[in-house]
Amino acid sequence: MAKTKALLALVALGFSVAVQAAGQSEAERARQLLQKTLERSYPQNVIAIIMQRNGEANGSMQRIQVQINRDGKMRQTVIYPLSLEGVETIDDGRQSATFLPDENLVIVQESPKLLPNDAGTRINLTVRNYGLKLGGCATIAGRTATIVVATPKARELETRRYYIDEKTGFLLQLETMESNGKPKIAFQAQTVVYPAKISPQTFMIDLEVGNYQKTIYKRRGNILSMDSRGSSLGFEPILPDRLPMGFELQDAQINDSGDWRSVAVRITDGPVKGTVYQWPSSEKIGVKASSGTTTETAGGLKFVVAADVPEAARRRLLNAFLDAARRQADVPSLLGQTFQLELIGLDETLTRAVALLLAMPNGGGMPSVLPETW
Amino acid sequence: MNCKSVQTYLSAYLDGELCGQESLQVRDHLMRCGECQSEEHQLRTLKQMLRGLPTYSPNAEFENRLVASVMGKATGRPALRLHLNFRWQVATGMVAAGILIALAVTKLTERSVPGANALPVATRDSTFEFSRDQLFMAGNDPLSGNRFVVPTSYGKD
């Protein structure tokens, strides 16, 4: 009897280990597939027609023809709706030009392909912040897609389902699961072909074509590597030490144009990338509200969070920036004092206490309002 | 035929809508011009792909519902009709003609403003800059739902 029990226990243990191993290998396969999609270059040329939800409040769909070559050069042309028909963006890997026929305008800026490849960082964050598993297969645009399900650990975020062509890594469909459990399609390929060749002329930017007014932007500056970012910008950008829901700061750039001088802080939790724009609230400049943005003012700065996440999640992200802005506005000279004290080797608690005393108008006494994290 | 006119005719050429001579001229140009060949190839691919898309047809009840809806509107509110006698018809016609002449004279005597004939240019403000930056970021994100973002907001706030 005892032998039978031991044997049963052994079988159960073996079964449990096998199930766990299978689960791990499934998660690992899902991770690898997602990483393949995140990598910039495709092993094949792609021509596709995709339907995509637009960023406007009405959430209507757009139909776009997309051509991508092996080097990652891209041309996208709007087919529908009629109001945007003919709007075209060509990215030759060095610069990106968007032709807006109705506005008679071409916008030229640096290619996003020039940014450092962040696939490794993003996949690590994805594994940390989401549970990954395979969700079976489906046929999208005549191609067999493997479904990767990413379930967030943070309750404010949505489960995302990626339909990936396993052979090429091309994302064929993206769904987010709404709070009622219904899938909402954000992006869907309707037809996809992988041609052996796409003419190089497809990705050539000819700024002399037509009679477009050209708006050429200089390359964005990265403020994280600048020593005196505040003085060159005219305001001190807010970069919180910690963000909620597993988000992390990736980069911060200056969007410098005559009309709008702002800082764009790039954040990501892995699958989702967002941007937090900030500029002095004294400049009476607004940004038209759209479905993917949340806006607020604090500490003399205006903040706009733009990210493809639910409003509650954007609000939490925004609050992290607002809190940091209020702290900075409350204790204007504190940062410099703290850095100096840390340099001479005082321990953290003492550093904070002395820094607070230094920040007092008379150099002593208890402050009436303490910053929240202290 | 030069490249510009050929590219204007390309769509009609592929749809077989050109007359014989125009069609021959386009074909002749295509045989000699690589750039237009490339354009023709792209357009042909696009048309093929569009033909492959699913078509949607309304359900069987749609026509009945539409007709009922239109009839309901038509019978619900009778159109307003004015019955004017001949004198009033002449007077109304003269007034309308007078307004038209006045408008035409105003248009003809209008001073031409320098640059008024220039093509329209988009107004640029923070919304414009915001769209531009979103376009930049989306282009760097293969996992984004707005990966092929299209700038849609270029108006003033």
Q: Looking at residue A123, which CATH number applies to its domain?
A: 2.50.20.10
CA distance A93 to chain B (A): 11
Boundary (domain end) residue, out of A217, A235, A263: A217
**Judgement on whether residues A129 and A251 belong to the same structural domain of the protein:** no
Token pair recorded at residue B30: 């295509």
A337 falls within a domain: yes
- Closest by Cβ to A64, choosing from B119, B136, B148: B148
**Is there a contact between A43 and A23 (Cβ–Cβ < 8 Å)?**
no
**Judgement on whether residues A189 and A261 belong to the same structural domain of the protein:** no
- Domain coverage including residue A136: 33-217
Looking at residue A16, its pLDDT comes to: 63
pLDDT at B109 over 70: no
pTM above 0.90, yes or no: no
Compute the average pLDDT of residues B19-27: 82
Please name the residue that has the structure tokens 């932007």. Answer: A217
Looking at residue B147, its pLDDT comes to: 65
**Judgement on whether residues A340 and A324 belong to the same structural domain of the protein:** no
Please give the Cα distance from A91 to A96 (Å, whole number).
4
A2 falls within a domain: no
Looking at residue A260, its pLDDT comes to: 75
Please give the Cα distance from A178 to A143 (Å, whole number).
26
CA distance B6 to chain A (A): 15
**Judgement on whether residues A276 and A364 belong to the same structural domain of the protein:** no
**Is there a contact between B132 and A109 (Cβ–Cβ < 8 Å)?**
yes
**Per the CB < 8 Å rule, is B151 touching A304?**
no
A67 falls within a domain: yes
Where residue A240 sits, what CATH number does that domain have? 3.30.200.100
**Per the CB < 8 Å rule, is A52 touching B147?**
yes
Nearest 10 degrees: CA dihedral of A194, A199, A204, A207? -110
**Judgement on whether residues A187 and A258 belong to the same structural domain of the protein:** no
Answer whether B88 touches A (CB < 8 Å): no
A16 falls within a domain: no
| Helix intervals (H) in chain A | 2-38, 119-129, 229-233, 311-330, 334-343, 348-359
Looking at residue A56, its pLDDT comes to: 59
Contacts of B146 in chain A (CB under 8 A): 52-55, 186-187, 292, 308
Looking at residue A337, its pLDDT comes to: 42
Bigger pLDDT: A52 vs B130: A52
Bridge partners for A98 per DSSP: A89, A107
Please give the Cα distance from B15 to A121 (Å, whole number).
49
The total number of structural domains that make up chain A: 3
**Judgement on whether residues A102 and A196 belong to the same structural domain of the protein:** yes
pLDDT at B39 over 50: yes
pLDDT at B111 over 60: no
Degrees to nearest 5, angle at CA A314 with A312 and A320? 105
pLDDT in tens, chain A (374 residues): 667 777 677 666 666 655 565 556 889 999 999 999 988 655 789 999 999 887 655 667 889 999 999 888 999 999 988 888 888 999 999 999 999 888 888 989 999 888 888 899 999 999 999 999 999 999 999 999 999 999 999 999 999 999 999 989 999 999 999 888 899 998 899 999 999 999 999 999 988 877 788 888 877 877 665 554 555 677 888 999 999 999 999 988 888 776 677 899 999 999 999 999 998 888 766 666 666 788 888 888 999 999 989 999 999 999 999 999 998 887 654 444 444 434 344 444 444 544 444 444 433 333 333 333 32
Token pair recorded at residue A24: 């791990």
Boundary (domain end) residue, out of A164, A193, A217: A217
Looking at residue A361, its pLDDT comes to: 40
**Judgement on whether residues A270 and A361 belong to the same structural domain of the protein:** no
What is the number of CB-based contacts under 8 A between chain A and chain B? Answer: 168
Answer whether B157 touches A (CB < 8 Å): yes
**Judgement on whether residues A288 and A171 belong to the same structural domain of the protein:** no
CA distance A113 to chain B (A): 6
Looking at residue B46, its pLDDT comes to: 80
